[in-house]
A and B are shown apart, each in its own frame.
Chain A
C-alpha cells in the first residue's frame, strides 16, 4: 500500500486508518498493529508539529516475515534518531519528560532507519510478524 497525504493535523489519524485497513487485509496480529500504530503516530505528529513538510508519503509492505513502514516527508532536514534517550531511571518526579515519543518508536519496533534523500526525510520502521 502506498499513499501521499498533505501535512496537516489529519495526517496522523488518516494514516492510522490506512494502517488499520492494511493490517486487516493482511490479518496482522493485534500486537503488531498496536506497536506500529503507536510508533507511526509519534513520528507523524512530529512531522506535523516540526517538519515544515508539505506532504508525507507512506509505503506499507510485508516482506521477509516483517512489516516495513516507510515515511517520506519533504520537510526540513531532521533525523529523529539523533534524539538522546530519555532518562528512565532518575527521580520520576524530577527527570525531564521530553524524548518519550522517539523512545516509544524505538521500543515498539524491531528497527528504525533514517536517511536523508533528495526528496526529503525517509524513516523506515520494521516490525517482525512473530
Chain B
C-alpha cells in the first residue's frame, strides 16, 4: 500500500493505493492517530485506488470513525473503488463509513 496526505484548512484526506492488508491497516492506524492529534475537524480516507481491504482495515476505520464522532469531528471514506465498495457492503458498514454525496 502507498499512502499520501492532503490537508486543506481543517480537512485532511488520506489517499490509500493498493492493498490494505494487516500491515497496511497498522500503518493506516498510525496515520489516523497522527491526524487526530491535529485540530482537523474532518478526516477523509480515500479508497478510490485501493483494491483490497481486510477486516483489520475496516476495524481501524470504524474505531476512529466512532472516536472522532464522539469528539464532534468526522472520519469518513470519501471515495471507494468497486472492490472496496463490495467489501464494505458485505460487512454492513458501508452506509456508516462512506460519505453520502
* Inter-chain contacts of A107 with B (CB < 8 A): 90
Chain B interface (Cβ < 8 Å from any Cβ of A): 21-23, 52, 54-56, 58-59, 62-63, 66, 69, 83, 87, 90-93, 95-96
Q: Which residue of A lies closest to B95 (CB)?
A: A92
* Inter-chain contacts of A9 with B (CB < 8 A): 22-23
A16 to B54, CA, bound (A): 13
Is B92 touching A38 in the complex (CB atoms < 8 A)?
A: no
Q: Which of A21-29, A60-68, A95-103 lies on the face that meets chain B?
A: A95-103
Q: State the interface size on chain A (CB cutoff 8 A).
A: 23
Is A103 touching B69 in the complex (CB atoms < 8 A)?
A: no
Q: Is the interface of B mostly helix, strand, loop or mixed?
A: helix
How far in angstroms is the closest Cβ of chain B from A14? 12
Q: Which residue of A lies closest to B90 (CB)?
A: A107
* Inter-chain contacts of A89 with B (CB < 8 A): 92
Q: Is the interface of A mostly helix, strand, loop or mixed?
A: helix
- B-facing mask of A39-75, CB < 8 A → 1, else 0? 0011001001000000000000000000000000000
Closest A-B pairs by Cβ, 9 of them: A88-B92, A92-B96, A100-B55, A101-B55, A107-B90, A45-B22, A97-B62, A97-B59, A100-B91
- Which one, A12, A97, A108, contacts B21 given CB within 8 A? A12
Q: A34-B83, A41-B54, A100-B91 are in contact. Are A12 and B59 (CB under 8 A)?
A: no
